[in-house]
Every structure is written in structure tokens, then in C-alpha cells.
Amino acid sequence: MSIEKRIPLNSGGLSLSRLVLGAWRLLDQGAKPSAAGVARLIDEAIALGLTSFDHADIYGNYGVEVAFGAGLAGWSGKRQSIELITKCDIMLTSDQRTENRVKHYDTSAAHIKASVDRSLQNLKTDYIDVLLLHRPDPLMDADDTAGGLQAVVEAGKVRAVGVSNFTPSQIDLLASRLPFAVVTNQIEMSVTATAPLTDGSLDHAQRLRYAPMIWSPLGGGSLFTGTGEQEQRVRAALQAVGAELGVDDIAAIAIAWLLRHPARLVPVLGSLKPERLAKMVAALDITLERQQWFAILKASTGRDVA
């Protein structure tokens, strides 16, 4: 059985590709992709069905949006054929933000509006599909934050609003002040980071019927390089399940494990290598049996369920 290639984030809401491409690593290890190189990457992603691109204002020391925007400006495709997600509220101490004396969060309406304007400029676009608050801010004044989010939506600068790394109660608080839904919570989860299964995040998503986006779905690469007992057990379990299914790529099985969850998880893939992405996209054609799913969970936790 094959899994839907696109997914509405919430009922009647906007759709993303079921697998999203994360742009966080675009400038890693001093990479300086040309505008043509970025445009080519966008085309290669689309050819694999990845039409949604995940950003944050801070990625690459505030440089990823700019590099991606340069590519987008020269790209021959139609803006409406892709979705751009970006985030705001983390304030880094950086040569790009000398006014930040300490790393902090800012969910004030004034900052949200200014950050959206900057992201639009950087990405060379006139709208953002989904704006996420990147981290919960202990000083969030829900009325003020909601006012800022409403303002950017009403101005047509942002189509939908979500959060990242929020607890269910933090989402409920924000949602209580908004006239529209919070469409997603982008959280960390993978075969080696399973907390959302039990911390209420996925229960909340199912209850409110929004699709959570999943960051570091391969443990940020530790699935391949990790030498701990957990990683070794998980790699063996992924290989065993892969052998049963005739799939030799453990990344595809690890992504399929996420896709099997009924909360409709949307993995944000971190590799920008088309050959690796092509293997992971194969996960959309893999449906793990219940016992295969539990065998991988057992390898992750190191024990049978009770």
C-alpha cells in the first residue's frame, strides 16, 4: 500500500508534501551553494515529490534563507507549486545580530512582524506558507503573540501558523487567543528519540487532528554514525525489518516507522543529497506491519513493552 504523497496539516487546511526538505544544513561545513545550484536542488527535490521546504530565520547564522532566496529568484518554476515554511523567535548571539547580548527568545508581536518581513525579503517571496514559532518562550504573552500572528496572516504575508517544540498546554494557550487553528507542532522524533510517543505530543495532535512535523527524523545522522548500544540495536532491527521487506536502506525503514504512526507525522528530511533523498522517498511505498513497528520500538528502548 502506498502512502498519500501530500498531506493537509489540519482539516481543510493547506497541504504539504508528505516528506519535507529541511534547509538547515544548506551552508554546513562552509558550503557556498550558487544560486543555480540551489535552483537545481529545488528541481531535484520536486522531482522526488518534495515540494515543501523547511527554513528558520537563524539557519546558517541567518544565511540559509538568503542563499535559498537567491536560488528561488532565478528558479524557473511557479511559486505556488512549492511551500515555504520558516520560523522565528530564537535570537542568537551572532555577528549578524550584534544587538543580542544573550541568546534568548522573542515571541512579541513586534518581533514576529519584523522577522516575517525579513524572511520575505531573504526568501525573495511575497508570502510564507507556514510560519512557526521556533521554541516556547517563557515570556510569551499569549495575547500579544497571537496579535502578531494574526497581523501577519491578515496582511497576506503568512498563510498558516504553527509552532515548534511546544508542549500540548503551550499550544492550547496560544490557540485560545487565535481566531484560526495552530496547524502543526514541529517536534524532534526518530527511532532513537521516541519521547513524543509518551509525552502527550502525539495524543494532542490526534485529538486536534493536526499533522506534527518531525525534525531530525534520522537522529540528525546518529542513526548511521552512533556507536552506542541503542544505535547498534536499532540499526540491526532496521536491517532485519528491511530484509523482510526487501528494502536495503535503513533510512527508508526509519522513515516508514514514523509514517506508520496514526497521528500523520510529516518527517522533515535533513540530507540535501538527491541520491539519499531518493532512497528515503521509497518509505512512502512501505507500510510496516504492527509487529515490525514494535520490533523497532523494542530495539530503541531496549525492552519489550510491558
Ligand X SMILES: NC(=O)c1ccc[n+]([C@@H]2O[C@H](COP(=O)([O-])OP(=O)(O)OC[C@H]3O[C@@H](n4cnc5c(N)ncnc54)[C@H](OP(=O)(O)O)[C@@H]3O)[C@@H](O)[C@H]2O)c1
Q: How far is the CB of 203 from ligand X (least distance, A)?
A: 20
Q: Which of 59, 62, 127, 210 is an active site residue?
A: 59
Report the distance separating Cα 90 and Cα 262, nearest Å.
Answer: 31
Q: Which DSSP state fits 104?
A: E
Supply φ then ψ for residue 273, to 5 degrees.
Answer: -95, 115
Taking only Cα atoms into account, the Rg of the chain, rounded to an integer number of angstroms, comes to: 19
Q: Which is nearer to ligand X, 100 or 165 (CB)?
A: 165
Q: Which is nearer to ligand X, 2 or 29 (CB)?
A: 29
Q: Which is nearer to ligand X, 181 or 269 (CB)?
A: 269
Nearest of 74, 91, 183, 179 to residue 129 by alpha carbon: 183
Known active-site residue 59 = yes
Report the distance separating Cα 261 and Cα 157, nearest Å.
Answer: 32
Q: How far is the CB of 291 from ligand X (least distance, A)?
A: 25
Report the distance separating Cα 203 and Cα 90, nearest Å.
Answer: 27
The residues of the shown chain that bind ligand X, judged by CB under 6 A, are 22-25, 54, 164-165, 186, 215-221, 224, 251, 268-273, 276
Q: How far is the CB of 115 from ligand X (least distance, A)?
A: 15
Kindly write down the DSSP assignment for every residue of 229-251, as one continuous string: HHHHHHHHHHHHHHHHHT---HH
Report the distance separating Cα 83 and Cα 246, nearest Å.
Answer: 33
Q: How far is the CB of 154 from ligand X (least distance, A)?
A: 25
Q: Which is nearer to ligand X, 224 or 294 (CB)?
A: 224
The catalytic residue positions are 59
